[in-house]
Amino acid sequence: MSDPNPLTTGSKPDKARFVIALALAVLAAVIGWEAWRLAQIPSYSSVGPAAFPTLIAIGLGLLAIANAVEAMKGMDEERPRDEPKPIFWVLAGLVGQIVLLPFLGFSIATGWLFAATAKGFGRGPIWAHFLAGTAICFIIYLVFAKGLQLSLPAGPLERLI
Amino acid sequence: MTKMLRGAVVAAALASCIPFVSAHAEVTELKIMAPAAPGGGWDQTARSMQHVLQTDKLVSNVQVLNVPGAGGTIGLAQFVNASKADPHALIVGGYVMVGAIITNKSPVTLSQVTPIARLTGEFEAIAVPANSPLKSMADLVAALKADPAKVSWAGGSAGGTDHIAAGLILKAIGGDPKKLNYIAFSGGGESLASILGGKVTVGISSLSEFDAQAKAGKLRILGVSGAQRLPEAPDVPTFKESGVDVEIQNWRMVAAAPGITPEQKKELSGLVEKMAKSKAWTDMLKQKGWADTYLAGEAFDKQLAIDIANTTTVLKEIGLAQ
Amino acid sequence: MDTFAALSQGLMVALQPMNLVFAFFGVMLGTAVGVLPGIGPALTVALLLPITFKLDPAGSLIMFAGIYYGGMYGGSTASILLNTPGESSSIVTALEGNKMARAGRGGPALATAAIGSFVAGTIATVGLALIAPTIVDIAISFGPEDYFALMILAFTTVSAAFGSSVTRGLTSLFIGLSLGLVGIDLQSGQARISFGVPDLLDGVEVTTLAVALFAIGETLSVAAAGSRAEEVIEPVKGSVFMNKEDWKRSWWPWIRGTFLGFPIGAMPAGGAEIPTFLSYALEKRLCKKPDEFGNGAIEGVAGPEAANNAAAAGVLVPLLTLGLPTSATAAIMLAGFQQYGLNPGPLLFATNPDLVWGLIASLFIANIMLLILNLPLVGMWVRLLAIPRPWLYGGILVFATLGTLGANPSLVELGMLVIFGLLGYVLRRYDYPIAPVVVGLILGPLAEQQLRRALAISVGDPMVLFQTPIALTLYALAALALFGPLLFYLITGRKAPVGGDED
């Protein structure tokens, strides 16, 4: 929540915020292009589907510039380094869940998510967490799928019942 | 970020190819897909079927699966891909799906499933606030002929039954459907509020939405879209009686999986017919206020083809489809 | 006097032992599902409709009322403790509530939410019983141009309240607005920013975005901090319950939240989110310690919580007086009424008075029941935070994905959860505020639709936007919020001591 102030003009430009400014510019271009496409479609109403996208694209473009300008002024303080490994584990858990879900069902896929997240936070062994997580998720499945008739994805484990 | 996006797209492709529920081998089981979130019309139809099939012991185990999204086209795509030749799979759908397939340019269409029967329908009605200068359909027609842009219509989402019905009416009196001043609302309550508050000229929706207000004298119903007058509103003339040649119903149907054998289709049709003729089903319809518009076999196939053709034409004329 | 006779008659109905059991069951069930992000009261009631078919109308409607209020309550518990807003109307609660929980003040946060919900629910239910017909006339008179003005007011007050850097705040807001464009445009039926992916046609789900940004984004950034973030969450620092200062600081926000929530909730297009935004912004302005906002200010929990509960009662105003369902839950309740052959509408009060008053009375009962059940549990709930970090965050992710899957069993939805989680991480890492993204997603589409409706009805004449007294008043308030902070402080300077002297 720190405001970049002119006192720090001497420091190095903030690379990360340049990347963000670039990303905003790309987003502005995508939405602007979409607005142009929508404007080609004839519609009777005075304010059509293209008006808001146009405004938002312009706003994003201006914000890209503003972020770039602030990035030039540099950072006000050094950001602490983030560790990539735990992020990798948590993402592996989330993506793994998506991949496993259709084949192995809710309990096993979500058990994996639990184990990988715990691993990311430095708690192992992963297989023990996987087993415990799967067991707990199986109980959750029973409660929601049977008790409340929610349609959660079923796999080999869920089909046993 | 783009890699992530591509991942999501791949995941989407996976999701549509792989069934969440595997095929069953037993005859006593049936799974009905409601291609909508719990609570809506299709979901209620599916759950009513579940209720009747089970209480009348026609099928011992019926499951309802909700796959919401995009006017039912997401559920339809999943159904076509996942339930191929599965004689125990049914999907509920309806007129809204016909429009959604066209406007969303859905790659999967109703020609890829095996339609079994039309079950229920709701008729459209046009309502104005009690103090509106429009007293009859003739007044509305005159106003539309004077300047269609000055007549604002409140109804459901663009391209839905309400929008199509309004477009058909303007077309039927010789107007240009492109000039239709249609205001879409996302929920029945919001659109009804704008009609009661006199913010729009007329409202168009299924009759059941207006019924209670009309009985209380807050709204006046100008016309209904049935072939005959409706039992719920015997005093209200049909559009046709008022010289507007439009007849439309928001119907709901049930279809089976693609690629089932003629024998399997016959068996499912027999089952659905038994259900639709049962007392439990008629009671259910009465309680929900749905009209019994059961139609099966070739007659339904023919009607479906006509509906699809008409809808395509009118959506093009409104400018919603190319 | 008639009203009171009818209400006491209703209380007699609601207090029958069997109906109390229904209310209890509903409240428990509602709290349980309300905790899950994505699965709310609407879905629960929808799933229960076929099951309750055989019950008598009074009993099942009373149970639905319990689920409704219970769901609101469960949503805020999850927001405060786990940072996973269970309902879109409890997103604002997570902002200050979760900060309080992390600072060992989860107990007071839960307590002020519970008591605030009770106070707001009770006042709003009284309002429902006494002035529903008057309120509904005003609510109906709101046209699209007035709603548009209300959105402008919400935008200006809210953007003034979030974050200290204008560029960063606006960047977040515009990311949210961009996400709001995704899907089929309601007015024209055209698909926007959907790239031909059918799952995107219905747009971005608010709870999916909020859970991803708040819970998953935070999980990622805490994980990334690794050994740096060694601090252990202490579930309780100081008192488990509210101390004297907490009471003093909660009292006025409860009342103000109620008076924002009830009327806006009663408006057909008002909803429960906007009053929570407005309440948050208002409390930040009025707070004597504005620096505490963003670090766990109790006013930021008390006000919005009262506002969302009052709005929940407000939604019943058009439903019971006119038969207008203006929220997903109300639409399902309407289906519930119809299941018993009752047609809510202008005549319901006249044709089925015992049922209507029974329902209103059962709202009181549900409120009291929630308070009695939940206050003693506060101490137990906050212990959740004592769970070791790997398991706590593992559990939060299980929870977040379960809620998303339950609401929509689609892998694309889960994919969005991951992508928005990464977005949340990036925003956190580079000091961009999170809340404006969600605000943009909620308010953007509403503002666009109302503006276009207003202009379509007027056949393109922009002057329609400035013609009603309601709209002009709202614009004046917006201008005041934007350009008149000085003036505002003068007013608050006079008002604040009044709030302080009370109690």
DSSP output for C466-485: G-SHHHHHHHHHHHHHHH-H
Task: Considering only CA atoms, give the Rg of chain B.
Answer: 21
Residue-range domain boundaries for chain B: 30-120+251-318, 122-224
Q: How many CB atoms are closer than 10 A to CB C458?
A: 18
Listed range (B4-13, C85-94, C476-485) with the worst mean pLDDT: B4-13
Q: How many CB atoms are closer than 10 A to CB A135?
A: 13
Cβ distance A47 to C451 less than 8 Å, yes or no, reads yes
Residue type, C92: V
pLDDT(A4) > 70 = no
- Among B residues 170-209, those touching chain A with beta carbons less than 8 Å apart: 178-181
- Is there a contact between C370 and C72 (Cβ–Cβ < 8 Å)? no
Q: What span, in angstroms and rounded, lies between the C-alpha atoms of C438 and C79?
A: 14
The answer for residues whose C-beta is within 8 angstroms of residue C21's C-beta and 6 or more apart is none
Cβ distance C406 to A16 less than 8 Å, yes or no, reads no
pLDDT per position as a tens digit, B24-55: 333 478 888 888 877 677 888 888 888 888 87
Residue type, C400: A
- Among C residues 78-137, those touching chain B with beta carbons less than 8 Å apart: none
pLDDT band with cut points at 50, 70 and 90 for residue C167: confident
In this prediction, residues A73-85 reach a mean pLDDT of 77
Residue-range domain boundaries for chain C: 2-231+239-501
- Is there a contact between B12 and C412 (Cβ–Cβ < 8 Å)? yes
* C3: three-class secondary structure by DSSP: helix
- Among A residues 27-56, those touching chain C with beta carbons less than 8 Å apart: 27, 30-31, 34, 38, 41, 43, 45-49, 51-53, 56
Q: What is the pLDDT of residue A26?
A: 95
Q: What span, in angstroms and rounded, lies between the C-alpha atoms of C142 and C149?
A: 10
Cα–Cα nearest to B129, from B61, B202, B72: B202
- Is there a contact between B159 and B315 (Cβ–Cβ < 8 Å)? yes
How high is the mean pLDDT of chain C? 81
SS3 content of chain B, % helix, strand, coil (to 5): 45, 20, 30
- Among A residues 126-155, those touching chain C with beta carbons less than 8 Å apart: 129, 133, 136-137, 140, 144, 148-153
Q: Which helix (H) or strand (E) holds C223?
A: helix C217-225
pLDDT band with cut points at 50, 70 and 90 for residue C337: confident
pLDDT band with cut points at 50, 70 and 90 for residue B71: confident
Q: What span, in angstroms and rounded, lies between the C-alpha atoms of C447 and A87?
A: 37
pLDDT(C231) > 70 = no
Question: Is C232's Cβ below 8 Å from some Cβ in A?
Answer: no
pLDDT per position as a tens digit, B85-122: 788 888 888 888 888 888 877 778 888 888 888 888 88
Question: Is A153's Cβ below 8 Å from some Cβ in B?
Answer: yes
Specify which residues B92 forms β-bridges with: B254
DSSP assigned state of B216 = T
The answer for residues whose C-beta is within 8 angstroms of residue C1's C-beta and 6 or more apart is none
Q: What span, in angstroms and rounded, lies between the C-alpha atoms of C359 and C58?
A: 7
pLDDT band with cut points at 50, 70 and 90 for residue A11: low
Q: What span, in angstroms and rounded, lies between the C-alpha atoms of C201 and C199?
A: 6
pLDDT band with cut points at 50, 70 and 90 for residue A46: low
In this prediction, residues B3-20 reach a mean pLDDT of 41
Where is pLDDT greater, at A131 or C188? Answer: A131
pLDDT band with cut points at 50, 70 and 90 for residue B9: very low
- Is there a contact between C368 and C375 (Cβ–Cβ < 8 Å)? no
Q: What angle do CA A49, B156, B44 make, to 5 degrees?
A: 130
Specify which residues B31 forms β-bridges with: B63, B89
Among A42, A45, A102, beta carbon nearest to B20: A102
Q: What angle do CA B105, A151, A106 make, to 5 degrees?
A: 105
Nearest C-alpha in C relative to B106: C198
- Is there a contact between C405 and C414 (Cβ–Cβ < 8 Å)? yes
Cα–Cα nearest to C269, from C451, C482, C494, C51: C451
Q: What span, in angstroms and rounded, lies between the C-alpha atoms of B65 and B46?
A: 9
In this prediction, residues C7-17 reach a mean pLDDT of 80
Q: How large is the angle between the packed helices C57-82 and C389-407, nearest 10 degrees?
A: 140
- Is there a contact between B58 and B275 (Cβ–Cβ < 8 Å)? yes
Instruction: Give me the percent of chain B exceeding a pLDDT of 90.
Output: 5
Listed range (B166-175, C381-390, C424-433) with the worst mean pLDDT: C381-390
Cβ distance C410 to B74 less than 8 Å, yes or no, reads yes
In this prediction, residues C411-428 reach a mean pLDDT of 92
* C87: three-class secondary structure by DSSP: coil
Dihedral of CA C17/C21/C22/C24: which sign? positive
In this prediction, residues C125-129 reach a mean pLDDT of 84
Residue A136 CA to chain centroid, in angstroms? 26
The answer for residues whose C-beta is within 8 angstroms of residue A74's C-beta and 6 or more apart is A4, A8, A9, A10, A11, A12, A13, A14
In terms of phi and psi (left: phi > 0; alpha: psi -120 to 50; beta: otherwise), the region of C183 is: left
Cβ distance A118 to C406 less than 8 Å, yes or no, reads no
Listed range (A80-94, B161-175, C331-345) with the worst mean pLDDT: C331-345
Q: What is the pLDDT of residue C420?
A: 95
E strand spans, B161-207: 181-184, 202-206
Do B122-224 and B30-120+251-318 fall under one CATH topology? yes
The answer for residues whose C-beta is within 8 angstroms of residue B30's C-beta and 6 or more apart is B53, B59, B61, B62, B63, B88, B89, B90
Q: What span, in angstroms and rounded, lies between the C-alpha atoms of A154 and C47?
A: 19
CATH topology for the B30-120+251-318 domain = D-Maltodextrin-Binding Protein; domain 2 (3.40.190)
Q: Which chains have 3 or more CB–CB distances shorter than 8 Å to chain B? A: A, C
Cβ distance B183 to C457 less than 8 Å, yes or no, reads yes
Cα–Cα nearest to A51, from A37, A39, A63: A39
Cβ distance A144 to C459 less than 8 Å, yes or no, reads no
Å between C257 CA and nearest CA of chain A: 27
Cβ distance C190 to A41 less than 8 Å, yes or no, reads yes
How high is the mean pLDDT of chain A? 84
Q: Dump the DSSP string for C350-393.
A: HH-HHHHHHHHHHHHHHHHHHHHHHTTTHHHHHHGGGS-HHHHH
Strand-pair category, B89-94 with B152-155:
unpaired
Structure token digits, residue C61? 């409607």
Q: What is the pLDDT of residue C493?
A: 59
- Is there a contact between C233 and C387 (Cβ–Cβ < 8 Å)? no
How high is the mean pLDDT of chain B? 80
Q: What is the pLDDT of residue B22?
A: 35
- Is there a contact between C102 and C233 (Cβ–Cβ < 8 Å)? yes
Å between B298 CA and nearest CA of chain C: 31
The answer for residues whose C-beta is within 8 angstroms of residue B303's C-beta and 6 or more apart is B118, B295
CATH number attached to the domain at B122-224: 3.40.190.10
Q: What span, in angstroms and rounded, lies between the C-alpha atoms of A130 and A144?
A: 21
Where is pLDDT greater, at A104 or B109? Answer: A104
Instruction: Give me the percent of chain C exceeding a pLDDT of 70.
Output: 89
Q: What span, in angstroms and rounded, lies between the C-alpha atoms of C334 and C320?
A: 9
Q: Exposed, middle or buried by CB within 10 Å (0-12, 13-18, 19+), for A18? A: middle
pLDDT band with cut points at 50, 70 and 90 for residue C434: confident
In this prediction, residues B145-174 reach a mean pLDDT of 88
The answer for residues whose C-beta is within 8 angstroms of residue C491's C-beta and 6 or more apart is none
ipTM of the complex, rounded to two decimals: 0.89
Q: What is the pLDDT of residue C218?
A: 86
Q: What is the pLDDT of residue A22?
A: 94
pLDDT band with cut points at 50, 70 and 90 for residue C339: low
Q: What separation in angstroms does the CA of B247 have from each of B180, B225, B240, C67?
A: 18, 5, 7, 41
Listed range (A150-154, B73-77, B146-150, B222-226) with the worst mean pLDDT: A150-154
Q: What is the pLDDT of residue C50?
A: 65
